[in-house]
Structures are given as C-alpha cells and as structure tokens.
Amino acid sequence: MKASLTLATFAVVLVCGLSAQQRYTFANIPWGANRAAVTEAMRQTGLKFSKVDEDGDLLFQGNLNGYDARVWALMTPTDQLSKTGVTLITEDSKARGVYRDMKDVLTKKYGTPTNCEEHFSDPYHEGDGYEEQAIKLGKGFFMCLWGDEITGILGIEITDQLNVHITYESPGWYAGEAARRKARATKAF
C-alpha cells in the first residue's frame, strides 16, 4: 500500500545526495532514472522487487536497518523516477522512537527542517499513556519537511498505522507528475 506523505546507521542504506542545488534522493538514485536503473539500485540497497502496480509504480521490499521496509518508486508515464516513499514497519510502541532517530539523522545531514509539526490534540497529550492510540485516531501528529517544490522535498512522518514513512519528492513533482495523477483521478469520477 502506498503511504501518504504526506532513514547512519541509515546513512549507508538511505544515502541522500546534495548537488549545487540541494536534492533529496533515496539511495542516490537520480531523479529521472528509468525502471532498470531504479531496480538495480534498489537491489544494491538490499531490497527485492515485488511488483508493478496499475500506475506503473514499482514496489520493493526488504530490511532497512533492522526494520521490515516497503519502498515505492513512483514512475512517470515515460518511465522516469519522480518520487520515492519508504515505509519502515515498526512496532507500535517504537514508532515515535524510530521517528525521532530518523529525524535526528536527517537533521544532521540537511539541517533544521523547514517545517515541523509534532503535537497531540485534546484530549490526548504527551505522557498520558495513550500516545499510540492518539496517533492511530489522527489526534497525534508527527511530521517534518525539508526543502521546497523547487529543490525537492524530503519528509518524515508517523502514519496512523504507527509506521515511519519517509518521502523523497523530485523538484517539480507537484507541477508535473502529481498534477497529472490528480487530473487522471478526477476524470475517473
């Protein structure tokens, strides 16, 4: 399942590159890489190809730093990598710790996030013993973002399934492939 928006020990596995213009990429796979290049790079990362979905997106599975992981490579109709989503399957009670660890890794590498929201909504609060329940119910929100639509976006969040999801979006994702997918989905209704 593709997770929403909207990881060293992970530095070895989740290598992000910087160029003259800051870029966020998973495993140094360049934006625009074709299906064969993406598949080979994922294999070298220790991930195994699982399937191609109806959109032509590629699913890889494996283990990243001790966590069961699902990695989606979102491809354009011209067979170019446009976005990557990494989901670390965590035990419910460990999701916030894994999130904090991964956020620290990303902050050391890229600096302070450009936007970060971490809070609980009433009646929940930190330390009440119901933090995991709050997140599952959408009353606990943990997400940080780096970058922008020009340089690309890197995001990390805790999903409502208490997994940690890291998203790498290419520069122009929203103006290009995301807009195309939204238009296609709108036509389906």
- Can you give the residue range of the structural domain that contains 152? 9-188
Of 15, 17, 27, the closest CA to residue 60 belongs to 27
Decide if 167 is inside a domain. Answer: yes
Sequence-ordered list of residues with C-beta below 8 angstroms from that of 1, at least 6 positions apart, any chain:
70
Decide if 94 is inside a domain. Answer: yes
Tens of pLDDT, residues 51-69: 999 999 999 999 998 899 9
Tens of pLDDT, residues 5-35: 333 223 223 333 344 344 799 999 999 999 9
Q: What is the pLDDT of residue 186?
A: 77
- Strands (E) across the chain are located at 48-52, 58-64, 67-75, 81-89, 115-120, 140-148, 152-158, 164-169
Torsion of CA 80, 81, 82, 85, to 10 degrees: 160
CA atoms within 13 A on the CB side of 24: 31
Measure the N-to-C terminal CA separation of the chain; round to a whole number of Å.
21
Tens of pLDDT, residues 104-118: 999 998 899 999 999
Decide if 2 is inside a domain. Answer: no
Higher per-residue pLDDT: 155 or 24: 155
Tens of pLDDT, residues 32-48: 999 999 999 999 999 99
How many domains is the chain built from? Answer: 1
Decide if 93 is inside a domain. Answer: yes
